Structures are given as structure tokens and as C-alpha cells.
């Protein structure tokens, strides 16, 4: 199972998390986020994919940011259209489209995106686009009708490790590609707890 650590913010902390060799590191380029990333991403292993997180950003601004930081993937958290995703595909990187779930979800909403993104990411619907700190009912994913791999996100922490193990043995997890963590591993927004992440990764 792949691991993505999102909401990276501080240079030294980024290097320490990167030393744990997660598969993806996420950087939020959304200025209303308390984890908004500014500055330059430090040198990290090329085996770790750098993900830029955007929310309804201007396409040209996203492309500019991709080139500046040599991003390997973009995660789209807003109401971006299939056409928007298609335009970004020309940048030769992975497209992760986010869909938020609360008590139920209409999987028909995914259909227009099937050919224009590489992954879906399912997180918990809350007041903010991501980083809300609580989980949704993963059983909803039993009804997932596609074969596209997805990231599982939304308030996942060490307390959920047994639930994750159970989920990964269930049919609902058949196309689960990666676990995405963020707020449950923080000292403060954007500053990650290294030992807790290390423990979590070792148990995945």
C-alpha cells in the first residue's frame, strides 16, 4: 500500500518526512489554507512524487507552479471540470481528482472524469477542502463501480490503523492505491510528527 503525506510546509520537517520514504509528499498551493506552501521545495529523493494541491486555480497558474517545483502530480480539490483535467494531462504528470464524501455519494459523478485523470481521492466532506481531521464511512466504497485506483483520505491517524487493516482486507478496498494522511500527524498545521509517521508507515 502506498503512502502519501500531505500538507507539508516547513523545510527541515519536509526533509525529515522525506527520509521516511513515503511514496508521495503533498504541498498545498491554496492561499486560504493554513498549510499554504510558500518558498522552494528542498531536494528530496526522486523516488518520492511531489504533489501540488490546488483548489479552482487558474490553469496557467497551476502550470507555472508545476514547472517551478518540478511537480510529479497535481491534486485537484475544487470544482475543476473534466476539460480542465484534460488540459493538465498535457503536462505529463499524474492527475488526482478529489471527491468529498459524507453520509452518501453518487458515483455517477465520477464518470466524466474516467478518461482525464489517473486517480481519484476520496476524503471527508467538511467546511474546508481537505484537512478536516475526521473520517467518512469507508463502507460506502463497496459501491465503487470503476477500476481506477484511488487514494483514501480524511482524518486517518494511528487510531485508525486496525480499521485500515480491516478495510484493506475487504472488497471495498479492491482499488485502493494509497493511504493519504495529514492533520492527525501534526504538532501544528503543516508540521508533522516524525515518530508517529514512522510508526504508522511500519504498520501499513
Q: What is the pLDDT of residues 84-137, one digit of tens each?
A: 999 999 899 999 999 999 888 999 999 999 999 999 999 997 665 555 567 899
* pTM: predicted TM-score of the whole model, two decimal places: 0.95
In the predicted model, residues of the chain with pLDDT beneath 50 are: none
Query: What whole-number distance in Å separates Cα of residue 194 and Cα of residue 200?
Result: 10
Q: 6 vs 17, 47, 68, 109, 170, CA distance in Å?
A: 10, 16, 19, 25, 25
Residue 110 belongs to domain spanning = 2-203
The domain total for the chain is 1
In this structure, the chain runs to a length of 204
CB of 124 within 8 A of CB of 135? yes
Query: What whole-number distance in Å separates Cα of residue 13 and Cα of residue 5?
Result: 12
Q: What is residue 125's predicted lDDT score, i.e. its pLDDT?
A: 77
CATH, residue 13: 3.20.20.70
54's grid cell: 490546488
**What is the CB-side half-sphere exposure of residue 130 using CA atoms within 13 A?**
33
> Which single residue is written with the C-alpha cell 510546509?
9
Q: What is residue 103's predicted lDDT score, i.e. its pLDDT?
A: 80
Q: What is residue 6's predicted lDDT score, i.e. its pLDDT?
A: 97
- Rg (Cα) of the chain, in Å, rounded? 16
136's grid cell: 467518512
Contacts of 24 (CB under 8 A, 6+ apart): 2, 3, 4, 5, 6, 48, 49, 50, 51, 73, 178, 180
Amino acid at each position: 500500500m502506498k503512502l502519501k503525506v500531505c500538507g507539508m510546509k516547513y523545510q527541515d520537517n519536509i526533509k525529515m518526512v522525506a527520509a521516511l520514504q513515503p511514496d508521495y509528499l503533498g504541498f498545498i498551493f491554496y492561499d486560504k489554507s493554513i498549510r499554504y506552501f510558500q518558498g522552494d521545495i528542498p531536494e528530496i529523493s526522486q523516488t518520492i512524487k511531489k504533489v501540488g494541491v490546488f483548489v479552482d486555480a487558474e490553469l496557467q497558474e497551476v502550470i507555472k507552479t508545476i514547472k517551478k517545483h518540478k511537480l510529479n502530480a497535481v491534486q485537484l480539490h475544487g470544482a475543476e471540470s473534466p476539460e480542465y483535467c484534460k488540459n493538465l494531462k498535457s503536462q505529463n504528470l499524474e492527475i488526482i481528482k478529489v471527491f468529498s464524501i459524507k453520509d452518501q455519494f453518487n458515483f455517477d459523478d465520477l464518470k466524466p472524469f474516467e478518461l482525464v485523470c489517473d486517480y481519484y481521492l476520496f476524503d471527508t466532506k467538511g467546511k474546508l477542502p481537505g484537512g478536516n481531521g475526521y473520517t467518512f464511512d469507508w463502507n460506502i466504497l463497496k459501491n465503487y463501480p470503476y477500476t481506477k485506483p484511488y487514494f483514501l483520505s480524511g482524518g486517518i491517524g494511528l487510531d485508525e490503523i486496525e480499521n485500515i487493516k480491516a478495510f484493506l482486507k475487504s472488497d471495498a478496498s479492491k482499488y485502493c492505491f494509497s493511504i493519504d494522511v495529514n492533520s492527525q500527524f501534526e504538532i501544528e498545521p503543516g508540521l508533522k510528527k516524525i515518530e508517529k509517521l514512522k510508526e504508522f508507515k511500519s504498520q501499513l
